[in-house]
Amino acid sequence: MRPLRQLGELALLDWIRKRAGGEKGAGGKNLLVGIGDDAAAFRLTPGKAALATSDMMVEGVHFDTRYYTPYQLGFKIVSVNASDIYAMGGVPRLALFTLAAPPETETGFIKKIFEGVLAALGLYGARLAGGDLSASHSGLVLDMTVIGEADGVIKRSGARVGDGVFVTGPLGDSACGLALLKEMAEPVAVEKGASARDKLKRLSRKWRSSLQWETVKPLVVRHLMPVAKRPPGRVLTAMLDISDGLLLDVSRLCKESGVGVRIYEDKIPVSGPMRRAAETLGLDPLALAKTGGEDYELLYTAPQGQKRKNMGKNKGGILIGEVIPAGRYMVDAAGKMKRFKAQGYEHFGK
Amino acid sequence: MRPLRQLGELALLDWIRKRAGGEKGAGGKNLLVGIGDDAAAFRLTPGKAALATSDMMVEGVHFDTRYYTPYQLGFKIVSVNASDIYAMGGVPRLALFTLAAPPETETGFIKKIFEGVLAALGLYGARLAGGDLSASHSGLVLDMTVIGEADGVIKRSGARVGDGVFVTGPLGDSACGLALLKEMAEPVAVEKGASARDKLKRLSRKWRSSLQWETVKPLVVRHLMPVAKRPPGRVLTAMLDISDGLLLDVSRLCKESGVGVRIYEDKIPVSGPMRRAAETLGLDPLALAKTGGEDYELLYTAPQGQKRKNMGKNKGGILIGEVIPAGRYMVDAAGKMKRFKAQGYEHFGK
């Protein structure tokens, strides 16, 4: 029940530093200087390419603390960044975490954010090495930089005509999870497993017959605590992670590679729980799968070769279409082909 | 006169990408993938240590757009981070810049921030390699990560008893510049040299006899567009940059090194303009020099050897005191020694 103002920055920093484990421990052997100096100092593996990515989460824009626990926020911002590192064909190594919070924020809330950050970094084998703490006037701002390394970098620009287009898993779960959370309008402590079922009761009253905890859980978990996907161990020509929706992100890949794409609507993977929940809420599952953001599945292109006849699961990837010389087309179940536009999340609301 | 909402994120990103120069041009030869992919990819010099630091600037907390032009904001956030890299004994190589702005912000304002960022990065020989753009609800949030490299890392923890304590230049200029800006209450376009003198008129009316543009300019420039200092080319035992005030930052160095310090009040460098302006404003120049933040001078310790007798300028550094086994003391002009506490900027207002 102690606000940040009372604990102070230096005491919070000491707590974080102790938790982060300094230069010792797993993953820390190449960390020369961790939290507490002007900058983190580290060594990367000789010969490998270094990778660096940043993603920001702003309260009221990217998240609402009515839906998220602080632990989930910390976990998610790491996953979002780790996903970008995996999407380049790399592995995360260390992280800088910057947090701005109103001085009246409870210290316990802030510490739980850091616990989520550290848990997720542990999952990806990376270390917290630095960052910045600041006051804010209204709302939380989280910004994370993750540094990784890769043997070979996989860009968005390498797709070639004839390549297959693959995704690593079902799409739209996160967008559907968010729709469910908006109905519930309170945090679901999925990471503890505890009272979540009780919180679901209010939601269930409305859709008693169709929505079970087993249906809802994977969707809200996907939204609250997404886990970054590792790319399959095969030759890929281009890759990115789906953060702003399939149609927008596949358009980015096409633009960077200077190619077109044909996607088969009935190949877009939709999970059973998502289909059930979306239909209960009166939403179109396929629309969620096409334009819903924050799934953090990987979208990649790879030579099809002999795998072409075997549409479907492909070494961890699901074939959803193919690279063509130009134009972006969606083929519906009846075989009808239609152009599509880059639709998805635009950060300034255009 | 076009708001961000209307231009859109993708168009802004294209503009930034073109300006940043991609993987070509000076400093870009080791940049494998710049802006526009999931993460930046780059190569650092084999055998060198990598460095990474982040600093955030929040509107209303770290800056007020009544005093700053957008160009100055962009310039300053780079300098703040470059200063941390120099303070580790390294040089900046590349940067990730994250910006959150209300969707109604004018595009021209945002572009000027980026111009300031790119100008400062050019000054330090580093490249803009990535980042994130986001909407915010109220006010600007700037977060910068700078990645650098160093032959040998200089930590805060290496100070040894008997070392001299040095600073690279006068202290308190920035705090005094801020006090002047608060009186003027409008941005001073020092980077263009133009109408600044006119804007000073209102200030001058109040202190017509004592404050000239020549006095005020270096102080407001130091606050608005600080330039990060490079450390002197000699053996240093510990270093940090003075961002939160001498007394607080020297205390951090002492804590990390497990030592004490004796500072000679009359050795603390105070610039002529700062002394004149502070006295005109009714402020204590020495208090500004001891506790004023954001000077971004370097504070370092180094063996004194034969230099000890030569108090004063020392290869770019000014000797202000010495490392002792324990305790933090200030010696005044009369030779009287007093303990001091870590006073300076506390981000959560404790």
Residues B82 and B193 in one domain: no
Residues A330 and A200 in one domain: yes
pLDDT of residue A213: 81
Enter the tokens of residue B141. Answer: 């949030």
Domain assignment present for A33: yes
What is residue A242's three-state secondary structure? Answer: coil
- Last residue of a domain, which of B150, B174, B199? B150
A chain contacts of residue B131, beta-carbon cutoff 8 Å: 54
Q: Measured between CA atoms, how close is B272 to chain A, in angstroms?
A: 29
Residues B28 and B109 in one domain: yes
Q: Measured between CA atoms, how close is B195 to chain A, in angstroms?
A: 32
Domain assignment present for B238: yes
Above pLDDT 70, what percent of chain B?
A: 85
- Residue A10 to residue B74: CA distance in whole angstroms: 27
pLDDT of residue B203: 63
**CATH number assigned to the domain comprising residue B274:** 3.90.650.10
Q: What is the mean pLDDT of chain A?
A: 89
Domain assignment present for A288: yes
pLDDT of residue B344: 63
Residues A242 and A191 in one domain: yes
Domain assignment present for A157: no
Enter the tokens of residue A167. Answer: 């995704």
Domain assignment present for B131: yes
Establish whether this prediction's ipTM goes over 0.95: no
Q: How many CB atoms lie within 10 A of CB B38?
A: 27
> Any alpha helices (H) in B134-245, and if so which ranges?
173-184, 196-206, 213-224
- Residue A168 to residue B57: CA distance in whole angstroms: 37
Lowest average pLDDT, out of A176-185, A242-251, A339-348, goes to A339-348
B chain contacts of residue A134, beta-carbon cutoff 8 Å: 56, 58, 61-62, 347
Domain assignment present for A346: no
Assign A202 a pLDDT band (cuts: 50, 70, 90). low
Burial of A47: CB neighbours in 10 Å, binned 0-12, 13-18, 19+: exposed
Above pLDDT 70, what percent of chain A?
A: 85
B278-310 burial string, b = 16+ CB within 10 Å, else e?
Answer: bebbebebbebbbbbbbbbbbbbbbebeebeee
pLDDT of residue B213: 82
Predicted confidence (pLDDT) per residue in B56-76, tens digit: 999 999 999 888 999 999 999
Domain assignment present for B184: yes
Range of the domain at A122: 7-150
CB atoms A348 and B87 under 8 Å: no
Assign A310 a pLDDT band (cuts: 50, 70, 90). very low
Residues B141 and B248 in one domain: no
B chain contacts of residue A16, beta-carbon cutoff 8 Å: none
The mean pLDDT value for B255-272 works out to 97
pLDDT of residue B313: 44
pLDDT of residue B200: 63
Residues A51 and A78 in one domain: yes
The mean pLDDT value for A35-47 works out to 93
Give A41's Cβ-side CA count (13 Å radius): 24
Residues B23 and B139 in one domain: yes
- Residue B144 to residue B92: CA distance in whole angstroms: 12
pLDDT of residue A197: 60
Of B32, B84, B348, the CB nearest to A38: B84
Burial of A333: CB neighbours in 10 Å, binned 0-12, 13-18, 19+: exposed
Is residue A61 within 8 A of residue A212, CB to CB? The reply is no
pLDDT of residue B8: 79
- Last residue of a domain, which of B93, B126, B150? B150
Chain A CA closest to residue B102: A348
CB atoms A96 and B44 under 8 Å: no
Q: What is the mean pLDDT of chain B?
A: 89
B chain contacts of residue A32, beta-carbon cutoff 8 Å: 49, 153
Under 8 Å CB-to-CB from B20, ≥6 apart: which residues? B34, B35, B118, B127, B128, B129
What is the DSSP pairing of strand B260-264 with strand B328-331? Answer: parallel
pLDDT beyond 60 at B4 = yes
Domain assignment present for B344: no
Predicted confidence (pLDDT) per residue in B25-39, tens digit: 555 668 999 999 999
Task: Work out whether the CA dihedral A178, A183, A187, A192 comes out positive or negative.
Answer: negative
B chain contacts of residue A139, beta-carbon cutoff 8 Å: 137
pLDDT of residue A195: 55
pLDDT of residue A267: 97
Predicted confidence (pLDDT) per residue in B113-137, tens digit: 999 999 999 999 999 999 999 999 8
CA angle B72, B278, B176 (to 5 degrees): 20
A–B interface: beta-carbon pairs under 8 A: 250
CB atoms B58 and A32 under 8 Å: no
The mean pLDDT value for B69-96 works out to 97
The mean pLDDT value for A185-205 works out to 62
pLDDT beyond 50 at A25 = yes
- Closest to B347 (Cα-Cα) out of A115, A19, A99: A99
Residues B190 and B333 in one domain: yes
pLDDT of residue A342: 81
pLDDT beyond 70 at A273 = yes
- Last residue of a domain, which of A90, A118, A150? A150
A chain contacts of residue B56, beta-carbon cutoff 8 Å: 98, 100, 132, 134, 141, 143
Lowest average pLDDT, out of A290-299, B81-90, B146-155, B303-312, goes to B303-312
Q: How far is CA B18 from CA B13, B21, B108, B114, B118, in A?
A: 9, 6, 16, 12, 12
CB atoms B137 and A139 under 8 Å: yes
Predicted confidence (pLDDT) per residue in A48-72, tens digit: 999 999 999 999 999 998 889 999 9
Q: Measured between CA atoms, how close is B295 to chain A, in angstroms?
A: 15
**Mutation to test the B interface, candidates A13, A84, A143, most B Cβ within 10 Å:** A143
Residues A192 and A332 in one domain: yes
Above pLDDT 90, what percent of chain A?
A: 72
Residues B248 and B293 in one domain: yes
**CATH number assigned to the domain comprising residue B21:** 3.30.1330.10
Residues B58 and B22 in one domain: yes
Q: What domain count does chain A have?
A: 2
Residues A85 and A230 in one domain: no
- Residue B124 to residue A272: CA distance in whole angstroms: 54
pLDDT of residue A311: 42
CB atoms B58 and A134 under 8 Å: yes
Paired residues of B324 in beta bridges: B260
Letter for the amino acid at A67?
A: Y
The mean pLDDT value for B199-222 works out to 77
Lowest average pLDDT, out of A184-198, A215-229, B170-184, B252-266, goes to A184-198
